[in-house]
Amino acid sequence: MTAYWCARAVLPSGVADGVLVTVEDGRITAVSSGAAQPPGAVRLDGLVLPGLANCHSHAFHRALRGRTQTERGTFWTWREQMYAVASVLTPDSYYRLARAVYGEMLLTGITVVGEFHYLHHAPGGRRYDDPNAMGEALIAAARDAGLRIALLDTCYVAGGIDQPLNEVQQRFSDGDAAGWASRVGRLRGSDGVVIGAAAHSVRGVPADQLGAVAGLLPEAPLHVHLSEQVAENQACVAAYGRTPTQVLDEAGFLSARTSAVHATHLTPVDVGLLGSSATYSCFCPTTERDLADGIGPSVALRAAGSTVTLGSDSHAVVDLFEEMRAVELDERLASQERGHWSAPELLAAATADGHRSLGFADAGKIEVGARADLVAVRTDSVRTAGTGASVETAVFAASGADVTDVVVDGVHRVAQGNHSTFDVAAELAAAIAEVT
Amino acid sequence: MTAYWCARAVLPSGVADGVLVTVEDGRITAVSSGAAQPPGAVRLDGLVLPGLANCHSHAFHRALRGRTQTERGTFWTWREQMYAVASVLTPDSYYRLARAVYGEMLLTGITVVGEFHYLHHAPGGRRYDDPNAMGEALIAAARDAGLRIALLDTCYVAGGIDQPLNEVQQRFSDGDAAGWASRVGRLRGSDGVVIGAAAHSVRGVPADQLGAVAGLLPEAPLHVHLSEQVAENQACVAAYGRTPTQVLDEAGFLSARTSAVHATHLTPVDVGLLGSSATYSCFCPTTERDLADGIGPSVALRAAGSTVTLGSDSHAVVDLFEEMRAVELDERLASQERGHWSAPELLAAATADGHRSLGFADAGKIEVGARADLVAVRTDSVRTAGTGASVETAVFAASGADVTDVVVDGVHRVAQGNHSTFDVAAELAAAIAEVT
């Protein structure tokens, strides 16, 4: 048994002082507030939050940070630079890169990552001896970095609607959804590892194969990129006479276990379909800024019944605090009004809602029975001083740089801002130098 | 003579390694690159930038960070909360608060602040024994925090177009522009202190008094809030039959020494007037997100001839790195295209252009003759590792938390991320507790 004493913590009932959290076998067994620090308890200062869920990650994109800002262009020219990195990764180099990137996530309070994984095969589409070598490398990277993973194994079998795969995209393809299912069927989850399914998008999977992707793992998380760019919508309507959301709906892809990533350019009908199916909408605001995607209708989606979750996606920034506030701030830019999302709502998106969308319904809250994740955020930095040490402090003032301690499944992985087992920044630099 | 050896620095000619900067009497007397670190030189690691210029500040708004995010509302309801803080400040408490806020700025690499100052008088409009007690408190706060200041003494004599001042606004008013000029005439600049003029807005100064504000200090910086909110435009057109920009133009307010702050909701004619007059456009993107202002036409303004500068304004965030990239990222959201502003252009906005707009044309570049400002940014943090240690690293990857060292006018004010003379976060907490 371990005990953590939090000077202040965000509980389901609100902010409380002197919170004693008792942990056995990685689970919270007792929570009390108004407690003095008992002998033997590990002290966590600042404001302690539940673990953060990063619901959409392409780990290798971290190698592009700062390197894709030198030229003018579009989402599509950015994608060429992204493919250049994708073309050189191996299971070994991707393991090293992903471990470092997941270490960066952990340092900012992220306790689970949803890895949207489509870089399955060797150059030219050649199969590795273990055809899941890349996915297994990502699972190992998360385990060794110290956080949980939902490996969202992604079907990507077309280069666009009625378009062949290009050279790099050969690495992504299992030929068709049946080939993808055959490979994915060999993956096994474990405690802290969820195997989920994904279709890359209506660009990457023909409409008549979407149902096979949705049906493979009927209890597991199911993810898909949706309407990130206007051009995708136009191509879809031209080919199918329907929006991407409508195509997904007709394929039986939308459900309460589905996450629609981005959900940026939607019609009112699309919003209604996502809401009535209780599909999650995974917003990635810093990436959506970086890639010039636009501002998605978060308020309309919420009103329709879709729960918003968050992801750092391309890792132009890895900071769920910035993602939380960006949902509200970008909606303010779009609407010229304030106060669409409260801080508690945004924190729920980043914690319990995100965890649930990744198949970890037992995480994201500091309560008895939950996985013992604790994230301590400084309330005495220049960013947070004087802001009230409230949920608003966490959502609107703090940054990833304010995280001092992270406990994942009861294990104290980050203390004093440092990872317990490796030098994350040094490993980021080394791993990126290998592939750029 | 002092010498600083920079592992890497951004010079006017580009990024260079092994840069030796020699300083006498606060000025740079020599710059060489490709140099080994000589004995006796102070070493600055990472990437060294020129000093950053924060061109628009309301120091007391820092007390609101995290405290105005609990309710729905508009810019105008936010203003009520802001006025509540304004109503209790005294010269002493404002000195303490501003010194801490300027300390926070310094820690993030800001070497000059443009303080848009309108909280002139005691409650009810009563004059202090020294009618410039508040302005002098701000000058002292900047000096004691260790950065330069342009005190932009602001005329604010109406509660809106044809509207009386409310209770709190009584503290802002000198009665009319002549009364304002009489008081401002007593202020004196010094090395590191520029006295500039400002009109609050076309709301705060009747059109027929704008010329008097513009004329008082004909060589000094001249600032004004411009078209931050649509409602301001509507009221102006209703009263004057002209946009705020047109009203300023007719009053002779626009010029190469003028900064139009926000410049958000502009007509093409407005953009042309700002450009042809070479008026600066001071963007405050994180505040413009926070206050639901909208996204200003930065690219159109640049094309028309207006130079963009940056400010942290309400200090919801104090981080010029975030402001730099936000100009580009928010334009991407508005246009759905990437690559409007290059990293060197954004760094110029935050350094030389900003300094010039505040009356410090001799600062913001690492070159012989300039004020000796040096800002060292970590290139080995989790945010910046692997990003190339380039200008793009500074603009698109770094944050204020990555600043380790700041030299202002040759004095090494920040080292290892700490202020040389006081605990900034502790003083922020104490000063804010006094006034909230």
CB contact under 8 A, B397 and A71: no
CB of B79 less than 8 A from some CB of A: no
CA-CA distance, A18 to B404, in Å (whole number)? 34
Rounded to a whole number, what is the distance in Å from the CA of B434 to chain A's nearest CA? 10
| CATH of the domain spanning B52-357 | 3.20.20.140
Residues in A closer than 8 angstroms to B428, CB to CB, are 382, 385-386
Taking residue A13's Cβ as centre, other Cβ atoms within 10 Å add up to 9
Rounded to whole angstroms, what are the CA distances from A326 to A287, A367, A394, B73, B289? 11, 27, 13, 17, 9
Q: Which of A58, A61, A117, A262 is catalytic?
A: A262
Residues in A closer than 8 angstroms to B63, CB to CB, are 386
Which residue in chain B has the smallest CA separation from A230?
A: B336
DSSP letter (8 states) at residue A396: I
First-to-last alpha carbon distance for chain B, in angstroms, is 45
Nearest beta carbon to residue B425 from set A229, A332, A382: A382
Q: pLDDT grade, residue A77 (50/70/90)?
A: confident
CA-CA distance, A390 to A70, in Å (whole number)? 39
CB of A395 less than 8 A from some CB of B: yes
State the pLDDT at residue B75: 85
Rounded to a whole number, what is the distance in Å from the CA of A10 to chain B's nearest CA? 16
A:173-192 residues touching chain B, CB 8 A cutoff? none
CB contact under 8 A, B74 and A230: no
State the pLDDT at residue B77: 82
CA-CA distance, B41 to B285, in Å (whole number)? 38
Rounded to a whole number, what is the distance in Å from the CA of A403 to chain B's nearest CA? 12
First-to-last alpha carbon distance for chain A, in angstroms, is 45
State the pLDDT at residue A309: 98
Residue B117 annotated to the active site = no
Chain centroid to CA A163: how far? 28
CB contact under 8 A, B70 and A335: no
Residue B316 sits at the vertex; the CA angle it makes with B310 and B318, to the nearest 5 degrees, is 50
Contact in structure between A86 and B407 (CB atoms under 8 Å): no
Q: What's the token pair of residue B418? A: 């700490």
DSSP secondary structure string, A52-79?
A: EEEEEE-GGGGGGTTTS-SS-B-HHHHH
B:88-127 residues touching chain A, CB 8 A cutoff? 103-104, 107-108
Which residue in chain A has the smallest CA separation from B423?
A: A382
B428 closest CA partner among A7, A381, A47, A392: A381
Rounded to a whole number, what is the distance in Å from the CA of B247 to chain A's nearest CA? 24
CB contact under 8 A, B104 and A382: yes
Where b means 16+ CB within 10 Å and e means fewer, A305-340 reads: ebbbbbbbbbbbbbbbbbbbbbbbbbbbbbebebbb
Rounded to a whole number, what is the distance in Å from the CA of B328 to chain A's nearest CA? 9
State the pLDDT at residue B124: 94
CB of A299 less than 8 A from some CB of B: no
Q: Which amino acid does the sequence have at A140?
A: A
Residues in B closer than 8 angstroms to A289, CB to CB, are 329-330, 332-333
B24-61 confidence digits (pLDDT tens): 999 999 999 998 999 999 999 999 999 999 999 999 99
State the pLDDT at residue A76: 85
A146 closest CA partner among A378, A332, A422: A422
Contact in structure between A383 and B51 (CB atoms under 8 Å): no
DSSP letter (8 states) at residue B190: B
CB contact under 8 A, B338 and A291: yes
Taking residue B411's Cβ as centre, other Cβ atoms within 10 Å add up to 14
B184 closest CA partner among B192, B169, B193, B174: B174
Residues in B closer than 8 angstroms to A335, CB to CB, are 292
B142 closest CA partner among B64, B83, B195: B195
Query: Does the predicted model carry a pTM greater than 0.95?
Result: yes
CB of A333 less than 8 A from some CB of B: yes
Domain A2-50+364-419 -> CATH class: mainly beta
Query: A131: helix, coil or strand?
Result: coil
| Residue B22 CB-density burial (10 A; 0-12 exposed, 13-18 middle, 19+ buried) | middle
Rounded to a whole number, what is the distance in Å from the CA of A361 to chain B's nearest CA? 28
Interface A-B, measured as beta-carbon pairs within 8 A, has a size of 186
CB contact under 8 A, A292 and B337: yes
ipTM here: 0.96
CB of B418 less than 8 A from some CB of A: no
Q: Choose the mutation target among B69, B298, B404, B419 for the interface with A, i.e. most A CBs under 10 Å.
A: B69
CB contact under 8 A, B388 and A75: no
Residues in A closer than 8 angstroms to B337, CB to CB, are 72-74, 292
CB of B240 less than 8 A from some CB of A: no
Residue A117 annotated to the active site = no
A90-114 confidence digits (pLDDT tens): 999 999 999 999 999 999 999 999 9
The domain segmentation of chain B, as residue ranges, is 2-50+364-419, 52-357
A297-356 confidence digits (pLDDT tens): 999 999 999 999 999 999 999 999 999 999 999 999 999 999 999 999 999 999 999 999
Residues in A closer than 8 angstroms to B72, CB to CB, are 337-340
Mean pLDDT per 10-residue section of chain B, whose length is 436 residues: 97 98 98 96 98 98 92 82 94 98 98 98 97 98 98 98 95 98 98 98 98 98 97 97 98 98 98 98 98 97 98 98 98 95 97 98 98 98 97 98 98 98 98 96
Residues in A closer than 8 angstroms to B15, CB to CB, are none
Taking residue A345's Cβ as centre, other Cβ atoms within 10 Å add up to 17
State the pLDDT at residue A384: 98
Q: pLDDT grade, residue A73 (50/70/90)?
A: confident
Residues 6 or more apart in contact with residue B139 via CB below 8 angstroms: B149, B151, B193
Rounded to a whole number, what is the distance in Å from the CA of B339 to chain A's nearest CA? 4
CB of B237 less than 8 A from some CB of A: no
Q: What is the mean pLDDT of residues A281-293?
A: 97
Contact in structure between A285 and A298 (CB atoms under 8 Å): no
State the pLDDT at residue A371: 98
Residues in A closer than 8 angstroms to B336, CB to CB, are 229-230, 292-294
State the pLDDT at residue B162: 95
Q: Which of B56, B120, B200, B262 is catalytic?
A: B262
State the pLDDT at residue A93: 98
User: Between A91-107 and A424-435, two packed helices, what is the crossing angle to 10 degrees?
Assistant: 150
Q: What is the mean pLDDT of residues A267-290?
A: 98
User: Between B207-216 and B177-184, two packed helices, what is the crossing angle to 10 degrees?
Assistant: 20
Residue-averaged pLDDT of chain A: 97
Q: pLDDT grade, residue A124 (50/70/90)?
A: very high
State the pLDDT at residue B73: 74
CB contact under 8 A, B343 and A316: no
CB contact under 8 A, B425 and A330: no
Q: Which of B153, B174, B293, B313 is catalytic?
A: B313
CB of B14 less than 8 A from some CB of A: no
Q: What's the token pair of residue A140? A: 């190992």
Rounded to a whole number, what is the distance in Å from the CA of B326 to chain A's nearest CA? 9
CB of B392 less than 8 A from some CB of A: yes
CB contact under 8 A, A386 and B74: no
Residues in B closer than 8 angstroms to A295, CB to CB, are 333
CB contact under 8 A, A294 and B336: yes
